[in-house]
Amino acid sequence: MGLDPIRYKPWNGQRTEHAKRFLVITDHVFRQKLRSKWLLGIIILGSILVWVFPIIIFSLTPHDSLTTEVMLETLQNGLLFIFVLIAASLVCADLISEDLRGNSLVLYLYRALRPERYLLGKVLGALLVLSLFTFIPPIALGVAVMATQTGPDYLASMEVIGRTIIAAVLTTIFFVPVGVMLSSFTTKRTYAAVGIFMFFFTMTIVAGIFSESDINWQLLGPGNLLNYWYDIIFSEPLPQGLSLAGMALMTFVLIVPPVIVTYWRILSKGVGK
């Protein structure tokens, strides 16, 4: 039997522009995460417990309009914090660690991408996945309650939905910077996932221990910090003695330095051309 000749088949695809290549990474991250049964299970279960039940209950309960109390009651539910933390740990665990383990990071940064675009693509992918649980459902809750209201004041309900969008954006972004940073320090996604969860969980425990001496220690707890920002977004008063400057500083520490550290880690592993 003769051998078939090896024929060269030219690639007929089209290269993505340099400025848009980070979108390819974003799309890859989004599609890859949606193939994870564990992550999908967490998102579906969390959506049912945190969002679907309130949508049904608040929509069927007689109400004149959408109020801030409805949104705060759902957003400040402890279940939301737990499910977002678990989902963020699963989403961020292998964002960079997988590329470090397979040496793909060097290939990404050699001519194909600049470090900042690589990081942007990874972060956007993670945010898109988390938004399926932290951004879309709260807006759906607000719209459902407004659609079933009996009162005529739809402008007030629209204002609450606007505030809800701001709160949803904050919730989506909040855990990602630290998650991506910890993913850049290991080649094991399991270590990264556990590290992300334990980082925020430990901060919550420490906040609970020391908050008896000073209420501002509560700001160390990520869940407490988010809840206080929800109060500000929905124009609710903060507890007496709580430092607004401390809230801003703690939020800055959890978002900005992790991004800088992650960028430095990416640079140390390969230089974009």
The model's pTM: 0.88
- Number of domains composing the chain: 1
CA angle at 267 for the pair 249 and 271, rounded to the nearest 5°: 155
Mean pLDDT of 6-20: 57
Mean pLDDT throughout 105-116?
75
Q: Does residue 10 form part of some domain? A: no
Helices (H), 47-188: 53-60, 68-75, 78-92, 97-101, 104-109, 115-134, 136-147, 154-174, 176-183
Average pLDDT over residues 162-189: 95
CA 119 – CA 181 distance, rounded (Å): 10
pLDDT at 111: 62
CA 214, distance to chain mean position in Å, is: 29
Quote the domain boundaries for residue 131. Answer: 18-269
Residue 11 lies in a domain: no
Is residue 45 a part of any domain in this protein? yes
Distance CA 108, CA 129 (A): 22
Question: What is the pLDDT confidence band of residue 112, given thresholds at 50, 70 and 90?
Answer: low
Q: Is residue 4 part of a domain?
A: no
